């Protein structure tokens, strides 16, 4: 397995190495990432905040010996002084057959927190000016990527030239958080329609992570009658419905990714938040069927028929469950008869 070098070019300083690992998503599946990070004890702000703009170049390691390499110290200083404030995000088109999601060999500006380039963003998060890190990336799934060899491992040096800091989520106003929630939900829908199920799951999860504390903040705003803030935000009930929609959407992704237990839990949360959510009840029933929890599945589809009487999908599902229950009872009877014969 080959290493990936992620370097922010600055003069060497006193170093301390920290090794971390995690699993990251990309359109085709999951990748395991291990990062050996060198802390060089600077006072500059970290680049991991939401909305941070990072200017980075990524290259395959096999090509890096003949590449232009990182900028010189003089070029890097000029960039930090003159261009950091003018960074503009580079449009990124998500692709199914590549993991890093950034144009190789070109300078790219990423906005952290959007999840456009999951692995690359995760490696950049937390870096400061003058720090270096070494990462190793390998495919966790059986998916074959046309861009990579049969070992399904990546080896790419990357250089972080500059960044502008964003905000931690707790530093944002409720309105700013709400804008992030909407953008993640919209991005998740687009990814789902394009077949990027892992990316859609990631986007809906990011939206929920921001929305859950936002619901509490909006409740506090309503209690204090802060009209100016209320005009820019949905009500508590509207946020509750949005939260239910996100859990329901997440459940659908998890069903398609063959994660029925997670799908059941997500759908159950959606139905508790919005008892009239027909899609959530249907997904709950589907998940329980896959888990062979037939009684729970039957109750979910019956609830769905109360909301939408004679819905063909629910009627068909109940017939299938009744058939499976009869088969289960026959098999149980046979086992009991053998025990007492």
Tens-place pLDDT, residues 86-129: 678 888 888 877 777 888 788 888 888 888 888 778 777 766 65
CA atoms of 325 and 237, how far apart (whole Å): 39
Instruction: Retrieve residue 191's tokens.
Output: 């990814």
Task: For residues 158-171, give the mean pLDDT.
Answer: 79
pLDDT greater at residue 332 or residue 156: 332
Give burial (CB, 10 Å; 0-12/13-18/19+) of 257: middle
Q: What pLDDT, on a 0 to 100 scale, did the predictor assign at position 6?
A: 42
pLDDT of residue 221: 60
- Model confidence band, residue 42 (pLDDT cutoffs 50, 70, 90): very low
**Summary mean pLDDT of the chain:** 77
Tokens of 285: 């029933």
pLDDT at 271: 98
Distances in whole angstroms, Cα of residue 89 to Cα of each of 93, 114, 164, 270: 12, 11, 11, 34
Residue 46 is predicted with a pLDDT of 56
**Greater model confidence, 110 or 84:** 110
Rounded distance, CA 189 to CA 246, Å?
Answer: 10
The mean per-residue pLDDT over the stretch 181-208 comes to: 94
CB 50 within 8 A of CB 70: no
- Pairwise CA distance, residues 221 & 215, whole Å: 10
Residue 254, pLDDT above cutoff 70: yes
pLDDT tens-digit profile of 272-297? 999 999 999 999 999 999 999 999 99
Longest dimension (CA), the chain: 90
DSSP per-residue codes, 85-154: GG--PPP----TT-SS-S-BTSEEEEETTS-TTHHHHHHHTT--TT-EEEEEEEE-SS---TTS-TT-EE
79 contacts 16 by C-beta, under 8 angstroms: no
Contacts of 187 (CB under 8 A, 6+ apart): 114, 115, 203
Whether residue 146 contacts residue 139, with contact meaning beta carbons closer than 8 Å, is answered with no
Residue 220's contacts (CB-CB under 8 Å, 6 or more residues apart) are none
For 57, 63, 151, 152, 155, the CA distances from 147, given in Å and listed in that order, are: 18, 14, 12, 9, 12
Mean pLDDT check: name the lowest of 153-157, 205-209, 281-285.
153-157
Asked which of 34-43, 76-85, 243-252 is least confident by mean pLDDT, the reply is 76-85
Least confident among 15-24, 29-38, 223-232 = 223-232
Q: Specify the pLDDT at position 110.
A: 86
Decide: 21 and 63 in contact? Cβ < 8 Å: no
Is residue 187 predicted with pLDDT exceeding 90?
yes
Other Cβ atoms less than 10 A from the Cβ of 37: the count is 18
Give me the mean pLDDT over the 229-250 stretch.
Answer: 89
Query: At 332, is the pLDDT very low, low, confident or very high (cuts 50, 70, 90)?
Result: confident
The pLDDT, as a whole number, for residue 141 is 63
pTM of the model: 0.80
Of 27-36, 51-60, 100-109, 172-181, the one with minimum mean pLDDT is: 27-36
Q: Are strands 53-58 and 29-39 parallel, antiparallel or unpaired?
A: unpaired
Burial of 270 (0-12, 13-18, 19+ CB in 10 A): buried
Higher-scoring residue by pLDDT: 43, 54? 54
Is residue 306's pLDDT more than 90?
yes
Model confidence band, residue 257 (pLDDT cutoffs 50, 70, 90)? very high
Q: Other C-beta atoms within 10 Å of 106: how many? A: 11
Residue 77: per-residue pLDDT: 41
């Amino acid at each position: 397995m080959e290493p990936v070098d992620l370097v922010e070019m600055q003069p060497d300083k006193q170093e301390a190495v920290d090794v971390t690992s995690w699993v990251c998503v990309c359109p085709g599946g999951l990748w395991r990432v291990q990062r050996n990070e060198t802390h060089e004890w600077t006072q500059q702000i970290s680049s991991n905040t939401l909305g941070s703009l990072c200017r980075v170049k990524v290259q395959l390691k096999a090509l890096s010996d003949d590449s232009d390499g990182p900028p010189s110290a003089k070029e890097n200083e000029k960039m930090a002084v003159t261009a950091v404030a003018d960074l503009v995000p580079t449009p990124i088109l998500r692709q199914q057959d590549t993991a890093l999601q950034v144009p190789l060999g070109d300078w790219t500006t990423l906005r952290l927190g959007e999840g456009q380039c999951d692995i690359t963003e995760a490696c950049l998060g937390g870096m400061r000016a003058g720090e270096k890190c070494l990462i190793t990336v390998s495919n966790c799934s059986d998916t074959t990527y046309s861009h990579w060899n049969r070992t399904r491992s990546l080896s790419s040096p990357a250089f972080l030239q500059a960044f502008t800091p964003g905000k931690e989520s707790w530093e944002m106003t409720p309105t700013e958080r709400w804008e992030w929630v909407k953008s993640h939900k919209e991005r998740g829908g687009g990814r789902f329609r394009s077949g990027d199920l892992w990316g859609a799951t990631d986007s809906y999860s990011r939206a929920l992570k921001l929305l859950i504390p936002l619901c509490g903040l909006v409740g506090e705003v309503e209690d204090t009658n802060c009209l100016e803030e209320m005009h820019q935000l949905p009500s508590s009930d509207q946020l509750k419905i949005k939260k239910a929609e996100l859990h329901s959407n997440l459940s659908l992704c998890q069903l398609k990714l063959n994660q029925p237990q997670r799908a059941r839990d997500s759908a159950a949360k959606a139905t508790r938040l919005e008892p009239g959510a027909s899609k959530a009840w249907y997904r709950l029933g589907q998940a329980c069927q896959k888990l062979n929890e037939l009684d729970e599945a039957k109750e979910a589809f019956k609830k769905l028929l109360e909301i939408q009487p004679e819905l063909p999908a629910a009627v068909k599902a109940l017939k299938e469950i009744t058939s499976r229950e009869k088969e289960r009872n026959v098999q149980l009877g046979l086992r009991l008869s053998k025990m007492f014969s």
